[in-house]
Amino acid sequence: MRSLIDIAELSLQEIDSLIATANDIIDNPKKYADKCRGKKLATLFFEPSTRTRLSFEAAMYELGGNVLGFSEAQSSSAAKGESIADTAKTVSCYADIIAMRHPKEGAPLVASMNASIPVINAGDGGHNHPTQTLADLLTIKREKGSFDNLTVGLCGDLKFGRTVHSLINALRRYKNVKFVLISPTELRIPEYIRESLKKDNFEVVETTDLEAAMSDLDILYMTRVQRERFFNEEEYLRLKDSYILTTEKLANAKQDLSILHPLPRVNEISVAIDNDPRACYFKQVLNGKYMRMALILMLLGVE
């Protein structure tokens, strides 16, 4: 039995295989309509979500399975003090696979150590979000054809941005990837990630200036400054509009730039950009469902 807590647990061959399955689902959805008949996915969401929870649920329904779960901690027995370990043991009696989101880093790992069914990390605090990365990877592959030789700009909250941490962890395994890390000083990438990239001799540029970096980028991964990760409201208000991508700021961008965002967006990308052919963030949303379908099939061992 296997869980997915960190994107690095998947080999490059497994990522290729998940992408191949997702592409086949896109081309032949009917082939997959009964693959999980009789199986149940439990979505245990202790933190708000639109895309991740609903795409997991849509994924399981489109595989012919069923879904149960909760969408906030207050409607579960966590509100009465139940531990993650006991919740995981309990849900193992009802479901075949768990997708868990939790505000505390490491909670899905604890669940996986106590569950008798696979656990998927659907986002743990400011740590990791491996299935968002699967959505990102399918999007990059479909837009660019390859993960090699890309200059990837990551912009916004790089400190608490779990999608950023997981995406760097995935892309660092491909050839000649250059990272441009664009953030306010207060929201720089965590030291352990910076040091690890340096140790492995990656070309990394850190800057506060999005416009100056723009012309080099093949991918621009925008992120939201996350109110829920701040202890201090004033600090959030000061930093929240650090980067707002507008049509004018794309003046020097490559014609084949791909603009990604894990969403939700607050106002860091102007809605005017939604109609630009380089905007990929709603494609990412759909790709997330297909990659979660592929992942569920893999973890349940369905042929």
Site residues (CB under 6 A) for ligand CP?
A: 49-52, 123, 132, 262-264
Residue 261 Cβ vs ligand CP, minimum distance, rounded to whole Å = 9
Q: Dihedral of the CA atoms 166, 167, 172, 177 (nearest 10)?
A: -160
Catalytic position from the list 21, 43, 52, 139:
52
Known active-site residue 292: no
Query: Looking at beta carbons only, is 96 or 136 nearer to ligand CP?
Result: 136
CA 194 from chain centre, in angstroms, equals: 20
Give the amino acid at 132.
Q
Rounded to a whole number, what is the distance in angstroms from the first to the last CA of the chain? 15
Residue 50 Cβ vs ligand CP, minimum distance, rounded to whole Å = 4
Residue 286 Cβ vs ligand CP, minimum distance, rounded to whole Å = 13
What is the distance between the alpha carbons of residues 218 and 258, in angstroms, rounded to a whole number? 6
What is the distance between the alpha carbons of residues 210 and 190, in angstroms, rounded to a whole number? 19
Residues 6 or more apart whose Cβ sits within 8 Å of residue 59: 41, 289, 290, 292, 293, 296
Query: Looking at beta carbons only, is 7 or 213 nearer to ligand CP?
Result: 7
DSSP state of 69: E
Residue 284 Cβ vs ligand CP, minimum distance, rounded to whole Å = 8
Known active-site residue 129: yes
Known active-site residue 51: yes
Query: Looking at beta carbons only, is 114 or 132 nearer to ligand CP?
Result: 132
Q: Are 223 and 163 in contact (CB under 8 A)?
A: yes
DSSP state of 98: E
Catalytic position from the list 35, 40, 53, 101:
101
Query: Looking at beta carbons only, is 92 or 126 nearer to ligand CP?
Result: 126
Helix (H) or strand (E) holding 19: helix 12-27
What are the CA-CA distances from residue 230 to residues 53, 186, 195, 236 (Å)? 23, 11, 24, 6
Known active-site residue 52: yes
Catalytic position from the list 35, 53, 129, 224:
129
Catalytic position from the list 51, 188, 194, 278:
51
Query: Looking at beta carbons only, is 123 or 125 nearer to ligand CP?
Result: 123
Helix (H) or strand (E) holding 153: strand 151-155
Catalytic position from the list 30, 80, 175, 199:
80
Query: Looking at beta carbons only, is 53 or 159 nearer to ligand CP?
Result: 53
What is the distance between the alpha carbons of residues 5 and 130, in angstroms, rounded to a whole number? 7
- Could you give the residue numbers annotated as active site? 51-52, 80, 101, 129
